Amino acid sequence: MKISSVLAFILLMTARVYAQVPTVAKSCCAASALQTFAELGKDVTFVATHLEPLPFALENKLGKEITFPVNDGKAANAYLIKSAKKSDKWVFVIHEWWGLNDYIRLEADCISKELKDVNVIALDLYDGKLATTREKAGEYMQAADVARIESIIIGASDYVGEEAKIATIGWCFGGGWSHKTAILLADKVKACVIYYGMPIIEDVQLEKLKAPVLGIFAIQDGWINGKVVSDFEAAMKKNKKSLKVYSYDADHAFANPSNPKFNAEYTKDAWMKSMDFIKKNL
């Protein structure tokens, strides 16, 4: 069944109603938190938790598909929405384990409409691969190459320019990479939003983090659980980094309308907090 973009937009927004720059170099440190999360792609229970998304083609898109150069020689893909007026403010949107699909493009459109004076770029960390089944999503997440993804992020940073002020936001797989992006791009990132992604807690990496972080977590999450969150809070405090956490009495991926445990009320609240956080800091 094909859902029109208008209907999908209405459903998504109704759910919410109801319910300067230093030289950036690749990290020499292993992205252990991200690799740990990627290994969940072979966890049968984790995979089964995710309902496969309905087929959806976004119509009347606000943005356009672009490519940009990457220092490893292979161009990267993204979905770009430019601000109506010239702006140095950018939001980097990081997709879930499904890849850069039209649901993420719709999220990017919603962010653009909400924030208005920012440019929004949704990065494709899978180089064009899209998963429509849970099994394939798990396979892609496990196979994601850390070095390639870091190169894509740095290439995107170069693309938006030296004067850019960036906010990052991502969900699940993208939540962890939202955090990593803020670490990689250091002073250039002014706000970082993590939705139930595996946070990075290694001191050597957190030392490079300059942006305040907003963490959206789920109390019933069996993977990004209370211990993960408390360890994250402790690590951020130890390194004197700014962190605000909101934990909802919900399950992993509660903000995804295609998830069987989607919670509209919590999604609306988390969305408002995320947008306010970005507005305040960007």
Structure tokens given for 193 = 């939003």
Residue 31 has pLDDT above 50, yes or no: no
Q: What span, in angstroms and rounded, lies between the C-alpha atoms of 195 and 277?
A: 13
CA nearest 78: which of 66, 92, 60? Answer: 66
What pTM does this model have? 0.87
Query: 114 near 18, Cβ under 8 Å?
Result: no
Residue 23 has pLDDT above 60, yes or no: no
Query: 93 near 105, Cβ under 8 Å?
Result: no
Residue 9 has pLDDT above 80, yes or no: no
Q: Give all domains of the chain, ordered by start, each with its CATH number.
A: 5-22+29-281 (3.40.50.1820)
Taking only the tens place, the pLDDT of each residue in 234-259 is 999 999 999 999 999 999 889 987 77
pLDDT of the residue at 2: 43
pLDDT of the residue at 42: 62
Backbone φ and ψ for 3, nearest 5 degrees, come out as -95, 130
Q: What span, in angstroms and rounded, lies between the C-alpha atoms of 78 and 5?
A: 19
pLDDT band at 56 (very low <50, low <70, confident <90, very high): confident
User: Which comes out higher in pLDDT, residue 148 or 15?
Assistant: 148
Residues 6+ apart with CB under 8 A from 256: 96, 171, 172, 262
